[in-house]
């Protein structure tokens, strides 16, 4: 009898606190958005680093032929010089056909034969210890080649700056959603405490401390947020998995590559949501209880 | 007897369970409901508090349970200054007292068993440690077969007994009851009075607010009379 009675303790706070399913839905939606923002930031960062790495692994040299020298000859001489520079894997003179092939999609077939095209050398640099633009320029000057070296540093800086901005914006979006979740929990805690003022009074008069009462709300909303956060994170994981599955080996968004480790990182979302809710509920409940003194 | 003013300075050394020195209380900016109340309840004493409706009985009990603070004067509980005690210390005072409210103040979502166990549960006791005592207490107040029933399904008298069981389950040093026999028949009233007397014999200080002067007279306890916000006198 005693075991039966003591084994099924009713929760101290009544269950009928209004609006809990709605709060769970809001937190789940916010967690879904936060997960997408986090995954977007990770993918943008990864893409930017990939683009920057590719740009950094190549340099383009524009060659100006000497008087009496053909452009192709000057380009070949520049390529031969550059191939011998430390930090260069390969240097290849771009012939007119190859240059026309690159321009054809933008300019069309008609104007290409009459268009004066620059003589270019494509230099593939060593990935670990790439040659600098200065050393390439010096080698060309020493060989008597009049040329301009572009190591893509301008583009690389712009790509990295854009990626950094996207990451900051995604981080801000993540923090805003966490803030919105906290605000929703604060509102729910205040509403719940107002609706249960009688219960709180009874608990207090029977010896419950403010911390104990706040702990009841903290536990309630922490568990609710953990469950809702799990639902939101699972939905986000499903959406990202779909993006990864569709579109072949690179996924449906190859420019913003999603990898499986991103999906796993999102599994921490329920714990984060619970922590935010727990803190919001505790601080709100304590402030409200102490305000009644 | 108990109604005698003393200086606050020697209250800490006093064995009195309750002591009020020149206490006044008013709601908001309204007139004082209690005026210059001087009251001492020695440890182990048993008193009835009577007075007509609106005399201030419930307000005085609010002060004793620290649901309200005096607007002037000094309130001492268990030898400690409770009138100005920080909010964080209130649970310490309240765990030493059992309160029976006129409107019962039971938790409707909990069974009778869980309602009675509430003070023990809030004090951190483990279910295995208190289940036997709670069951015994429920049987003593005639609710042994209603342990799993929630308050909305209980009659007024049953709720009253349940509220009393909850108030006394933790063996409080001070029992404060507001009209505890107001909803029970004469037999049950006599039985509940015996329960309070038993607890008093075990050392608890008991103060019962009641408009039933006949019951107070039958009990043989000292009677404090509130009139116009002042305690006019005591008679045993």
Q: Cα separations (Å) of B3 from B55, B106, B143?
A: 17, 33, 37
Q: Can you tell me whether residue A253 is helix, strand or coil? A: coil
Q: Can you tell me whether residue A69 is helix, strand or coil? A: coil
B231 within some domain: no
Q: What is the pLDDT of residue B233?
A: 65
For residue A284, the cross-strand partners are none
Read off the DSSP letter of residue A12.
S
B32 within some domain: yes
Choose the mutation target among A205, A220, A289 for the interface with B, i.e. most B CBs under 10 Å: A205
Q: Can you tell me whether residue A254 is helix, strand or coil? A: coil
Q: Three-class SS string for B132-157?
A: HHHHHHHHHCCCHHHCCCCHHHCCHH
What sign has the CA pseudo-torsion A125, A130, A133, A139? negative
Task: Check which CATH number belongs to the domain holding B42 and give it.
Answer: 3.40.50.300
Q: Cα separations (Å) of B107 from A286, B47, B182?
A: 22, 28, 20
Count how many domains chain B has. 1
The DSSP code sequence of chain B is -------GGGSTT---SEEEEEEEEESTTS-EEEEEEEEEE-TT-EEEEE--TTSSHHHHHHHHTTSS--SEEEEEETTEE-TT--GGGHHHHHTTEEEE-TT----TTS-HHHHHHHHHHHTT--HHHHHHHHHHHHHHTT-GGGTT--GGGS-HHHHHHHHHHHHHTT--SEEEEESTTTTS-HHHHHHHHHHHHHHHHTT-EEEEE-S-HHHHHHHT-EEEEEETTEEEEEE-
Cα(A110)–Cα(B167) distance, integer angstroms: 100
The answer to whether B34 and B63 are in contact (CB under 8 A) is: yes
pLDDT exceeds cutoff 80 at A137: yes
Say which of A5, A15, A290 has its CB closest to residue B147.
Answer: A5
Interface contact flag, A208 B91, Cβ < 8 Å: yes
B167 within some domain: yes
Closest A-chain CA to B91: A207
B2 within some domain: no
Kindly report the backbone phi and psi dihedral angles of residue B179, in degrees, each rounded to the nearest multiple of 5, phi listed first: 50, 55
List, in sequence order, the alpha helices (H) in chain A. 2-7, 20-56, 71-83, 96-107, 133-142, 153-195, 197-205, 210-245, 260-265, 269-291
- What architecture is domain A53-156? 2-Layer Sandwich (3.30)
Q: What is the pLDDT of residue A28?
A: 95
Cα(A92)–Cα(A95) distance, integer angstroms: 9
B232 within some domain: no
Cα(A229)–Cα(B116) distance, integer angstroms: 37
Provide ipTM, 2 decimals.
Answer: 0.86
Q: What is the pLDDT of residue A46?
A: 82
Res. A6 pLDDT band, cuts 50 70 90: very low
| φ/ψ bin of A34: left (φ > 0), alpha (ψ from -120 to 50), beta (otherwise) | alpha
Choose the mutation target among B118, B162, B170 for the interface with A, i.e. most A CBs under 10 Å: B118
Q: Can you tell me whether residue A13 is helix, strand or coil? A: coil
B91 within some domain: yes
Say which of B107, B113, B119 has its CB closest to residue A5.
Answer: B113
The answer to whether A120 and A75 are in contact (CB under 8 A) is: yes
Q: Residue B204 belongs to what domain range? A: 16-226
Read off the DSSP letter of residue A88.
E
For residues A17-31, average pLDDT: 86
For residues A103-107, average pLDDT: 81
Say which of B67, B88, B128 has its CB closest to residue A205.
Answer: B67
Q: What is the pLDDT of residue A16?
A: 60
Give me the residue spans of the domains in chain A: 17-52+161-291, 53-156
* Nearest in space to B179 (alpha carbons), one of B201, B203, B196, B204: B196
Number of C-beta neighbours around residue A13 at 10 A:
20
Minimum distance, in Å, between the CA of residue B40 and any CA atom of chain A: 22
Closest A-chain CA to B85: A293
Which residues of chain B, if any, have pLDDT below 70?
Answer: 1-14, 233-236
For residues A249-253, average pLDDT: 62
* A30 or B215, higher pLDDT: A30
* A54 or B73, higher pLDDT: B73
B233 within some domain: no
* Nearest in space to B70 (alpha carbons), one of B83, B89, B56: B83
Q: What is the pLDDT of residue B17?
A: 94
The answer to whether A60 faces chain B, any CB pair under 8 Å, is no
Q: What is the pLDDT of residue A18?
A: 59
């Amino acid at each position: 009898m005693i075991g039966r009675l003591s084994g099924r303790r009713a929760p101290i706070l009544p269950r009928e606190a209004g609006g809990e399913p709605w709060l769970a839905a809001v937190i789940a939606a916010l967690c879904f958005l936060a997960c997408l923002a986090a995954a977007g930031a990770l993918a943008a960062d990864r893409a930017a680093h990939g683009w920057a790495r590719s740009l950094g692994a190549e340099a383009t040299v524009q060659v100006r032929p000497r008087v009496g020298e053909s452009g192709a000859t000057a380009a070949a001489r520049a390529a031969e010089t550059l191939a011998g520079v430390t930090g260069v894997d390969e240097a290849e003179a771009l012939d007119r056909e190859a240059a026309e092939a690159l321009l054809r999609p933008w300019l069309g077939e008609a104007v290409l034969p009459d268009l004066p095209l620059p003589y270019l050398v494509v230099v593939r640099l060593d990935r670990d210890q790439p040659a600098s633009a200065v050393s390439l320029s010096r080698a060309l000057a020493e060989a008597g080649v009049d040329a301009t070296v572009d190591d893509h540093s301008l583009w690389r800086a712009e790509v990295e700056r854009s990626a950094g901005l996207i990451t900051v914006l995604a981080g801000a979006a993540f923090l805003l959603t966490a803030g919105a979740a906290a605000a929703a929990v604060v509102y729910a805690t205040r509403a719940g405490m107002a609706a249960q003022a009688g219960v709180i009074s009874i608990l207090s008069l029977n010896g419950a401390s403010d911390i104990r009462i706040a702990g009841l709300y903290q536990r309630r909303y922490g568990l609710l947020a953990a469950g809702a956060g799990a639902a939101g994170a699972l939905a986000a994981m499903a959406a990202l998995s779909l993006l990864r599955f569709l579109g072949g080996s690179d996924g449906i968004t190859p420019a913003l590559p999603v990898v499986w480790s991103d999906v796993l990182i999102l599994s921490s979302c329920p714990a984060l949501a619970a922590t935010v809710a727990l803190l919001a509920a505790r601080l709100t409940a304590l402030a409200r209880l102490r305000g009644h003194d | 007897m108990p109604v005698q003013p003393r200086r606050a300075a020697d209250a800490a050394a006093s064995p009195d369970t309750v002591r009020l020195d020149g206490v006044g209380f008013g709601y908001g900016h309204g007139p004082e409901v209690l005026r210059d109340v001087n009251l001492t309840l020695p440890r182990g004493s048993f008193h009835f508090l009577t007075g007509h409706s609106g005399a201030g009985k419930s307000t005085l009990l609010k002060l004793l349970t620290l649901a309200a603070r005096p607007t002037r004067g000094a309130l001492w509980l268990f030898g400690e200054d409770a009138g100005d005690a920080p909010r964080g210390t209130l649970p310490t005072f309240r765990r030493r007292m059992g309160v029976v409210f006129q409107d019962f103040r039971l938790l409707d979502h909990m069974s009778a068993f869980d309602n009675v166990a509430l003070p023990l549960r809030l004090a951190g006791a483990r279910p295995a440690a208190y289940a036997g005592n709670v069951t015994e207490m429920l049987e003593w107040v005639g609710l042994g077969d209603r342990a799993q029933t929630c308050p909305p399904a209980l009659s007024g008298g049953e709720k009253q007994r349940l509220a009393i069981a909850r108030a006394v389950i933790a063996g409080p040093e001070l029992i404060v009851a507001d009209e505890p026999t107001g909803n029970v028949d004469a037999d049950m009233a006599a039985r509940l009075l015996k329960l309070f007397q038993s607890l008093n014999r075990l050392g608890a200080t008991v103060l019962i607010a009641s408009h039933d002067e006949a019951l107070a007279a039958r009990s043989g306890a000292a009677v404090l009379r509130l009139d116009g916000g002042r305690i006019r006198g005591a008679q045993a």
